Amino acid sequence: MKPVLSLSNVTRSFGPIEVLHGIDIQLHSGEVHALIGENGAGKSTTMKVMSGFLAPSSGTVCIDGDPVRLTSPAQAEEAGIVMIHQEFNLAAHLTVTENVFLGREMRRGPFLDHAGMRKYTQALLTRLHCNASPDARIADISVPDRQMVEIAKALSRHARVLIMDEPTAVLTARETEVLFQQVDRLKAEGVAVLYTSHKLGEVRRLADRVTVLRDGSMVLSDCAEGMTEDQMATAMVGRDLSDLYPPKRKGGGDVVLSARDIRVPRFVEDASFDLRQGEILGFAGLVGSGRTELMEAVAGLRPRDGSVTVNGATLPADRMRPAIQAGLVYLTEDRKESGLLLNKSLRENLTLLALERFSHGLIDRKAEDAALDQAIADWDIRIPHRDVLAGNLSGGNQQKLLLAKTMLTQPRIVIVDEPTRGIDIGTKQQIYRFIHRLADEGLSVIVISSELPEVIGLCDRVIVMQRGRIAGQVAGADVNERAIVRLAMGLEGEAA
Amino acid sequence: MTATAEPRQAPRRRINLHAIGPLAALGVLLLIGIALNDNFLSYSNLTNVLARSAFIGIIAVGMTFVITAGGLDLSVGSMAAFVAGVMIMVMNALLPMMGQGVGVILVGILIGLVTGLFGGAINGLLVTRARIEAFIVTLGTMGIYRSLITWMADGGTLSLNYELSGVYRPVYYGTVLGVSWPIIVFALVAIAGEITMRHTRFGRHCAAIGSNEQVARYSAVNVMRVRMATYVLLGLLVGVATIMYVPRLGSASAATGLLWELEAIAAVIIGGTMLKGGFGRVWGTVVGVLILGLIGNILNLTDLVSPYLNGAIQGIIIILAVVLQRGGIRSN
Amino acid sequence: MTATAEPRQAPRRRINLHAIGPLAALGVLLLIGIALNDNFLSYSNLTNVLARSAFIGIIAVGMTFVITAGGLDLSVGSMAAFVAGVMIMVMNALLPMMGQGVGVILVGILIGLVTGLFGGAINGLLVTRARIEAFIVTLGTMGIYRSLITWMADGGTLSLNYELSGVYRPVYYGTVLGVSWPIIVFALVAIAGEITMRHTRFGRHCAAIGSNEQVARYSAVNVMRVRMATYVLLGLLVGVATIMYVPRLGSASAATGLLWELEAIAAVIIGGTMLKGGFGRVWGTVVGVLILGLIGNILNLTDLVSPYLNGAIQGIIIILAVVLQRGGIRSN
Amino acid sequence: GISIPAATHGWAGGLNYHAQATVERLEEAYPDLDFVLTTASDPSKQVSDIEDMVATRNIDALVVLPFESEPLTAPVARVAESGTYVTVVDRGLSQDGIEDLYVAGDNEGFGRVAGEYFAETLDEGSKIVVLRGIASTIDNERVEAFTAAIEGAGIEVLGMEHGNWNRDTSFTVMQDFLSRFPEIDAVWAADDDMATGALQAIEQAGRSDEMWVVGGAGMKEIVARIRDNDPMLPVNVTYPPAMIATAIELTAMRFTSPAPVAGRFIIGSELITPENAADYYFEDSPF
Ligand SMILES: Nc1ncnc2c1ncn2[C@@H]1O[C@H](COP(=O)(O)OP(=O)(O)OP(=O)(O)O)[C@@H](O)[C@H]1O
Ligand SMILES: Nc1ncnc2c1ncn2[C@@H]1O[C@H](COP(=O)(O)OP(=O)(O)OP(=O)(O)O)[C@@H](O)[C@H]1O
Ligand SMILES: [Mg+2]
Ligand SMILES: [Mg+2]
């Protein structure tokens, strides 16, 4: 059978730096093909070449076996190739419906068919079990909802080839399952799917075929059948990755952070919790359970009621600077909207939060550069060159830069919201080790994560939130998936 | 429960205020007008205000599209003067050949539309092809048109032949069922604009481009063409406005259309369109135009303040109108 | 193959051109000036151009910060007129009490600075606290200040007492080592501005806010305070500019500072700062100011074109300067 | 109703001053007269103002100083047709016979008187520069009359630029003239605001004893300096903004006294010399 879409010997360079070296990939209809690799390996670039967003520097793209020159996404879409980007591709001021149909609006005569488009969008959202209103503006809906809108947008285009770049990075298990049902359905309809994820369990579950990229080259392309997660990981990283999570530790000194009766209107009700020195405290819950809002309130990024004390000193509400001075930092889950200045250099991004430390009257450019060198080394940030804009980094490397930026303030209490979103498995291991090291050094860490295994593997104690309230907590040996899920679903209502 | 159901209420309320804000400001102005002068509500006064707001209004409708798509046009005022100048020169030149009649006027109107279209196209080309900031392009063309009209009028005033003026006059002063032409044209342009903005692809694409150009491009929107079209449309509407303007004064000079660009942009923004693009509202613009028109009218209705301070009152009202729209001063 | 090498080269070249663009435009203008008139390079001509560019220049430096942080200020021209008026009135009023001497002048200068500061603070408060679009706020205050100065001057001209003028004159006309004061102050402001923009937290924060306000907020930048500070700084610099302006003619009227805002904004953008914010370059602004100053100078030094067309030439050169900067017209 | 241009330059400022002062004075003298004063920044606004006065203020008489002739002709004609008494000041309308009363300064005379002075005073081969006003018909008439008056006197006009009736602009233009021409004997600035700017530039260049400046319109500071025999300011030509006062008074007379008021009053442009300067000096006027 002829592949629907294939690359043969494709290379791609940005300036003098070649990031893809001779890629060969064939997508067949009715087959799910997974593309995996470390951060910066070239997955997104490969996908962009396949869907007409980037031109290959050399090599050929074939549709149904015929070489084509894809010069624009529009042309690719014409040919039935649709891509969901790693970074959102939605216009913030437009509504969900408007985004879903952007560029190919339904019309009745010369005018838009509002009712028709709305109905269709609602149907898609229902199919995806997404609660966002078709009339809500993108700016007003949550990150996971946006991802679902992206998926709805792609589904609405009736693709022959669907390319998805880390669609599940911001989704929880439940939504991921919804997505997979849709993928199964498309597969049955004969759509070819190319898909990437750093969650290798998903790859196991979904893929018929796996291609592994390392540093822009293909190292493996094989049937998924019989391939274990460990084998995939080893192929990606080039080393063995047993012991993803460091051994469990026993945390708990004095209480360093104490939050009492925190209320964030519309999001959080009466949340109280304590954090001890040297502890790794997990926050679990379904998407929309208010974890982000609670922590933003604690960190002074949102107006709140209730009190937050750090080492006995009360922090003012709605101001972030005092929290930072007290040694508390928050790492945002939304790196694109709240985390990084995408059109600025790495240096400016890295030091923005901790700029005080680099300026004694004037900013010490040398110290900044040294800090950047250090960050690149510490966090293994893969960059083409030092002057690259933050927005041109691969998704995972952006996340690493964000982590480096946050840690630069030399905090005592670290709140990380989805810290490993979009990060490859090798680096994840490093980050887990890093968090452990911090705790061992006497720092306290709060980890919000929608990946249950991560929470379970990493944390000493886990607080579970449900609908804006703290539903309960589990600690030590009781930390297991069943207990957490029961709390998160509201099946068990014990007090914290 | 509460926590789940509530989330969207607050933004709703704000959106509502945002929506009715300009209308509220307009209402307040109307009340002030009524309180200050008995003749304010008279038919002739209201028609006067509407008719002369029509020029800025027609242009502001076009400006709404340009701004929604993330652009800006500072040249509309001088472009109007230039178009008026060209029209007058052509009509005067044709007079000996074609005789004094409707024919000349029709040719003049056509020339006006074409000139406006070209003016818009030049702005559009410079912005989309040469990729220069719209601010600079249109600041440049603003100076160029203003100079050209001064030069064409030899520093003075270009006047339409007096007899021709007589033939042309009804286009401004004439009425249909008691409603004068500029009002009718303004209403038509506004309605067409509102429909285009909300119910056509073009309007949707303007908002998309203004909101996020890259997203629009990725969604197969032809960004260049749409952006170009907004400038061409605006140029065309400048032509339409000028067609109504020439019969009003029968002349064009270096002072024609002075500061129209600021008024048009102010009307657009008072109406709730965002200066950075991404969201536009034609009916809001119409309300904005009416607010600006009424301020001037009301200041003429009374002697409360020294005429020197008219500008100050105007400034204060413009700011207040927008404050009202934002739903008052809120902390954070 | 070919396609491989290009993509990155193009951005590289563009960045470089972007950097030297304004300088190249300035160089070309200088060459034109030299070619057209022998006196162009004369010491007195160059000092004249520099000294009179100083007002706009000082203001444009402040405007660079406002625009970089994603704001805009249309009120600077009328604010300058207003500040000048207040200074003159205060100095004239103090004359009988304090006698004619340096004391009065110093008080006047202080008043000028304070008034500018307050003017900027009002704009800043309205933008940050009342959350009104900067365009509307400053359009409003522009009208207000312009009205106030007209009213203060009773429609005419406010003149500084003749004797006081004599005492004050050296602040514009005096020189240090052959360099006149306005030039020195402009240079100092420009250098301080460049350092502030590139080497201080404030400058970084301005760019961060203009680039993405939310990211800035999440990076513990006090967005309101920084934005407020940009307007206050601009107001203060308007005060500084006015302090140098008053001794030049010793008077203020409704015509003072007319269109300075457009010139200042144009200079900022010609210099390579982005109107949408996020990236600012003070030295570019200085080059932009000089380009604008030289265009006028060169037009005055030659008779090549009808003076009516000066504005057109100016417009064309402004556009060309930016084209040069963008590295020429490219298709897509 | 009174409609005049806004105070955007010194002369218009004087105009505004005199209009307001007259209105105040007359309102006191004749309590049963009501006045409406509007100022316009462009012709279109002025037409709007007039429409408003007719529609909402029921005016019986209109005193208008047209921003420009042609644009105002038709609207003012409509007002006149409706039976309102119309007084036109300064700028005539482009059609004759619309107005009941015409009070005007003499733009042609303004240029001619100055030109004649130049022709008389300067030797053949003298070099002068000219600062023009805002490009407009008024400016054109003045400059044409001036050019005609110096014709044949052998005076060389080195350069003409627009100073826009603005001190700052004329300062700039004069600076550049001074850089450009090593030899200038006299300057004609078609307005005293511009003369003020030019004087500063000349002073700065240290060429005060080289040339003299003739302005126009009789600004009080300039008149004072002429009175005090300033060698740089030998004479001036009047173009009194007070003409608006005359017009308003004459119009008011129509309603307060039985005598019929109509016709044309041309207030000639006169030469102010050190001898008669005291007569043209008004302490309180802002101009
Ligand atoms: N526009 C660009 N300019 C310069 N370099 C780029 C650009 N886009 C991508 N790169 C570089 O190309 C390399 C591959 O990036 P790509 O986004 O394909 O990685 P990825 O495999 O998707 O990684 P991740 O898992 O982190 O998303 C990276 O080194 C990246 O910095
Ligand atoms: N900007 C917004 N405007 C309106 N509602 C929002 C906005 N952001 C989020 N929400 C809603 O608020 C609720 C909580 O948001 P969010 O999904 O961030 O919670 P969370 O528990 O922190 O999830 P996560 O697992 O992603 O951290 C959801 O119902 C979401 O739809
Ligand atoms: Mg990627
Ligand atoms: Mg969240």
Query: Per residue in B42-61, pLDDT tens?
Result: 888 888 888 888 989 999 99
| Token representation of residue C123 | 């704009």
Are the beta carbons of B200 and A93 separated by less than 8 Å? no
Are the beta carbons of B219 and A89 separated by less than 8 Å? yes
Instruction: Decide if pLDDT at B21 tops 80.
Output: no
Q: What is the mean pLDDT of residues B290-315?
A: 80
| Token representation of residue A144 | 């996971």
Among A349-358, D31-40, D121-130, the minimum mean pLDDT is found in D31-40
pLDDT confidence band for A97 (50 / 70 / 90): very high
Q: Is residue C331 part of a domain?
A: no
CA distance C107 to B6: 58
| Token representation of residue D94 | 């482009």
pLDDT on residue B330: 39
How far, in Å, from the CA of A449 to the mean position of ligand 4? 10
Is residue A151 classed as helix, strand or coil in its secondary structure?
A: helix
- Note the pLDDT tens digit of each residue in D144-178: 888 888 888 888 888 888 887 888 888 888 888 88
In chain A, positions 158-187, which contact chain B (CB-CB < 8 Å)?
none
Distances (CA, A) of C273 to C65, C228, D194: 10, 19, 35
ipTM: 0.86
More confident residue, B140 or D14: B140
pLDDT on residue D7: 64
Are the beta carbons of A14 and C215 separated by less than 8 Å? no
pLDDT confidence band for B111 (50 / 70 / 90): very high
- Note the pLDDT tens digit of each residue in C286-310: 999 999 899 888 888 877 777 778 7
Q: Is residue C55 part of a domain?
A: yes
pLDDT on residue B325: 67
3-state secondary structure chain C: CHHHHHHHHHHHHHHHHHHHHHHHHHHHHHHHHHHHCHHHHCHHHHHHHHHHHHHHHHHHHHHHHHHHCCCCCCCHHHHHHHHHHHHHHHHHHHHHHHCCCHHHHHHHHHHHHHHHHHHHHHHHHHHHCCCCCHHHHHHHHHHHHHHHHHHHCCCCEEECCHHHHHHHCHHHHCEECCEEHHHHHHHHHHHHHHHHHHHCHHHHHHHHHHHCHHHHHHCCCCHHHHHHHHHHHHHHHHHHHHHHHHHHHCEEECCCCCCHHHHHHHHHHHCCCCCCCCCCCHHHHHHHHHHHHHHHHHHHHCCCCCHHHHHHHHHHHHHHHHHHHHCCCCCC
Q: Is residue B331 part of a domain?
A: no
More confident residue, B166 or C108: C108
pLDDT confidence band for A223 (50 / 70 / 90): confident
- Facing B137 at nearest CB: one of C141, C310, C319: C319
Q: Provide the residues around ligand 3 (an ion) whose CB is within 5 A.
A: A 44, 86, 394-395
pLDDT confidence band for B17 (50 / 70 / 90): low
Torsion sign over Cα D46, D49, D51, D54: negative
Question: Number of folded domains in chain B?
Answer: 1
How far, in Å, from the CA of A287 to the mean position of ligand 4? 7
In percent, the amount of chain B with pLDDT more than 90 equals 39
Closest by CA to D62, choosing from D126, D133, D1, is: D1
Is residue D127 classed as helix, strand or coil in its secondary structure?
A: strand
| Token representation of residue B14 | 């704000």
More confident residue, B127 or B102: B127
A441 and A399 fall within a common domain: yes
Domain span holding position C264:
16-326
pLDDT on residue B191: 96
Identity of the highest mean pLDDT range in A82-86, B16-20, B183-187, B267-271 = B183-187
The CATH number of the domain holding residue C103 is 1.10.3470
Is B13 within 8 Å of chain A by CB? no
Are the beta carbons of B135 and C329 separated by less than 8 Å? no
pLDDT on residue B13: 42
A124 and A259 fall within a common domain: no
Ligand 2 binding pocket, CB closer than 6 Å: A 140-145, 267, 285, 287-293, 333, 417, 448, 450; B 7
pLDDT on residue C161: 83
Are the beta carbons of A140 and B8 separated by less than 8 Å? yes
| Token representation of residue C177 | 């080592």
pLDDT on residue B1: 32
Q: Is residue A249 part of a domain?
A: no
Check if the beta carbon of residue A58 is closer than 8 Å to that of residue C1.
yes
CA distance A164 to A159: 12
The CATH number of the domain holding residue A189 is 3.40.50.300
- Facing D13 at nearest CB: one of C40, C254, C296: C254
Q: Is residue C5 part of a domain?
A: no
In percent, the amount of chain B with pLDDT more than 70 equals 91
Close Cβ partners of C14 (under 8 Å, ≥ 6 residues apart): C326, C327
Instruction: Decide if pLDDT at C2 tops 60.
Output: no
pLDDT on residue A493: 52
Other C-beta atoms closer than 10 Å to the C-beta of B2 total 9
pLDDT on residue D235: 82
pLDDT on residue C13: 42
For residue C324, the one-letter residue type is L
pLDDT on residue B3: 36
Q: Is residue A246 part of a domain?
A: no
Residues in chain B within 8 Å Cβ distance of D134: 254
Instruction: Decide if pLDDT at C179 tops 90.
Output: no
A424 and A342 fall within a common domain: yes
Instruction: Decide if pLDDT at C141 tops 60.
Output: yes
Q: Is residue C8 part of a domain?
A: no
Give the end of a domain, one of A190, A210, A237. A237
pLDDT on residue A221: 85
Is residue D281 classed as helix, strand or coil in its secondary structure?
A: coil
pLDDT on residue B22: 78
Q: Determine the distance from the C-alpha atom of residue A395 to the mean position of all C-alpha atoms in its chain, rounded to a whole number.
A: 8
A271 and A207 fall within a common domain: no
Q: Is residue A405 part of a domain?
A: yes
Domain span holding position A182:
5-237
- Note the pLDDT tens digit of each residue in C78-95: 999 999 999 999 998 988
Are the beta carbons of D17 and C48 separated by less than 8 Å? no
A306 and A208 fall within a common domain: no
A308 and A383 fall within a common domain: yes
More confident residue, C119 or D42: C119
pLDDT on residue C77: 93
A260 and A214 fall within a common domain: no
Instruction: Decide if pLDDT at D118 tops 50.
Output: yes
A177 and A271 fall within a common domain: no
Q: What is the mean pLDDT of residues D46-50?
A: 81
CA distance A144 to A169: 9
- Note the pLDDT tens digit of each residue in C189-212: 999 999 999 999 999 999 999 999
pLDDT confidence band for C3 (50 / 70 / 90): very low
Close Cβ partners of A171 (under 8 Å, ≥ 6 residues apart): A144, A147, A148, A179, A287, A450
Q: Is residue B2 part of a domain?
A: no
Distances (CA, A) of C293 to C53, C57, C318: 6, 10, 11
Q: Is residue A247 part of a domain?
A: no
Residues in chain C within 8 Å Cβ distance of A12: 4
Instruction: Decide if pLDDT at B7 tops 50.
Output: no
Residues in chain B within 8 Å Cβ distance of A53: 218
For Cα atoms C4, C10, C16, give the angle at the middle one, nearest 5 degrees: 145
Instruction: Decide if pLDDT at A283 tops 60.
Output: yes
In chain C, positions 206-265, which contact chain A (CB-CB < 8 Å)?
207-208, 211-212, 214-222
Q: Is residue B4 part of a domain?
A: no
More confident residue, C280 or A288: C280
Residue of D52, D62, D67 to mutate when probing chain B, most B C-beta within 10 A: D52
Instruction: Decide if pLDDT at C233 tops 90.
Output: yes
Question: Number of folded domains in chain A?
Answer: 2
Q: What is the mean pLDDT of residues B170-195?
A: 89
For residue A274, the one-letter residue type is D
A120 and A147 fall within a common domain: yes
CB neighbour burial string for A366-399, b if at least 16 within 10 angstroms, e if fewer: eebeebbeebbeebebbbbeeebbbeebbbbbbb
Among A54-63, A86-95, B242-251, C304-313, the minimum mean pLDDT is found in C304-313
pLDDT confidence band for D204 (50 / 70 / 90): confident
Q: From its phi and psi, is residue D181 left (phi > 0), alpha (psi between -120 and 50) or beta?
A: beta
Check if the beta carbon of residue C108 is closer than 8 Å to that of residue C125.
no
Give the end of a domain, one of A172, A203, A237. A237
Residue of D nearest to C50 (CA): D172
A116 and A184 fall within a common domain: yes
Query: Average pLDDT of chain D?
Result: 81
pLDDT confidence band for C227 (50 / 70 / 90): very high
Are the beta carbons of A16 and C5 separated by less than 8 Å? yes
In chain D, positions 188-207, which contact chain C (CB-CB < 8 Å)?
193, 196-197, 200, 204-205
Q: Does an H or E element contain D198, and which? A: helix D192-205
Q: Is residue B3 part of a domain?
A: no
Question: How far away is chain B from the Cα of D148, in angstroms, using its nearest Cα?
Answer: 18
pLDDT confidence band for B328 (50 / 70 / 90): very low
A76 and A117 fall within a common domain: yes
- Note the pLDDT tens digit of each residue in A16-29: 888 898 899 999 99
In percent, the amount of chain A with pLDDT more than 70 equals 98
pLDDT on residue C329: 38
pLDDT confidence band for B6 (50 / 70 / 90): very low
Residue of B14, B129, B139 to mutate when probing chain C, most C C-beta within 10 A: B139
pLDDT confidence band for D286 (50 / 70 / 90): low
